[in-house]
């Protein structure tokens, strides 16, 4: 049997120093991966919020250019009129716009199963507009003071209040965002 020399083995101090350096390097790699994942998640949230802002901006532009604005309730097949004397708050919005050719077109926005849809009436361009909406009645007619009206007047402010789930973890309150804006049609 051959005997090992004392220089062929590692000492306890060498093993401890090597383990410390390896642990330090692996900890740095893991910390860098966690930081990159969080940055990527934050960037994707920011891009999603920018997209939602563009959608709401287009909705406001269409409200401003509309000739008529009507808050409605959508029940899955029809847009029901909210009777006078009750608060003008609903889950649908109908807009009548004039094109450059002086022809009218109606655009409908409605909430169904936590998704906001947009379509041109008698058109084929209906599509999902916003998803993961938490509130049931995003549209209301208000006066200049912010009070909800019980009838539609000519110079009504359409208040749009949309609660959006930013992340799939809905138990964390920080992941839900309330976006509120309003616009009035121009005469």
Contact assessment for residue 34 and residue 27, using Cβ atoms and an 8 Å cutoff: no
Span 20-43, pLDDT tens digits: 999 999 999 999 998 888 887 777
pLDDT at residue 18, rounded to an integer: 94
Provide the mean pLDDT of the chain: 79
pLDDT at residue 147, rounded to an integer: 81
pLDDT at residue 155, rounded to an integer: 61
Dist CA 85 CA 137 (whole Å): 18
Indicate yes or no: pTM above 0.75.
no
Percent of the chain with pLDDT over 90: 12
Dist CA 48 CA 66 (whole Å): 27
pLDDT at residue 20, rounded to an integer: 95
Would you mind telling me the total number of residues written for the chain in this entry? 187
Dist CA 145 CA 122 (whole Å): 36
Strand locations in 99-185 (E) = 104-112, 115-120, 127-130, 139-142, 157-165, 176-184
CA–CA distance from 141 to each of 41, 91, 145, 155, 161 (Å)? 36, 12, 11, 10, 11
Where does residue 114 rank: exposed (0-12), middle (13-18), buried (19+ CB within 10 A)? middle
Q: Is the pLDDT of residue 157 over 80?
A: no
Dist CA 91 CA 131 (whole Å): 14
Span 98-144, pLDDT tens digits: 777 778 888 888 888 888 888 888 777 778 888 878 888 888 888 77
Residue 118's beta-bridge partner residues?
Answer: 109, 127
For every residue of 78-96, DSSP letters joined together read -EEEPPTTS--EESEEEEE
Q: Residues 136-163: what's their mean pLDDT?
A: 77
Residue 70's beta-bridge partner residues?
Answer: 94
């Amino acid at each position: 049997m051959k005997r090992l020399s004392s220089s062929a083995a590692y000492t306890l101090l060498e093993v401890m120093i090597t383990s410390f350096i390896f642990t330090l390097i692996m900890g740095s790699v893991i910390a860098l991966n966690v930081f990159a994942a969080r940055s990527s998640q934050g960037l994707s949230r920011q891009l999603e919020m920018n997209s939602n802002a563009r959608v709401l901006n287009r909705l406001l532009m269409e409200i401003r250019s509309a000739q008529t604005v009507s808050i409605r309730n959508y029940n899955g097949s029809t847009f029901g009129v909210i009777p006078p004397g009750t608060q003008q708050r609903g889950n649908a919005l109908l807009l009548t716009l004039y094109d450059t050719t002086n022809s009218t077109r109606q655009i409908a926005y409605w909430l169904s199963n936590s998704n906001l849809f947009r379509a041109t009436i008698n058109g084929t361009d209906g599509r999902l507009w916003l998803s993961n909406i938490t509130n049931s009645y995003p549209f209301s007619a208000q006066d200049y003071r912010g009070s909800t009206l019980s009838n539609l007047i000519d110079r009504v402010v359409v208040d749009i209040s949309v609660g959006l789930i930013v992340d799939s973890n809905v138990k964390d309150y920080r992941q839900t965002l309330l976006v509120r804006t309003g616009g009035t049609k121009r005469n």
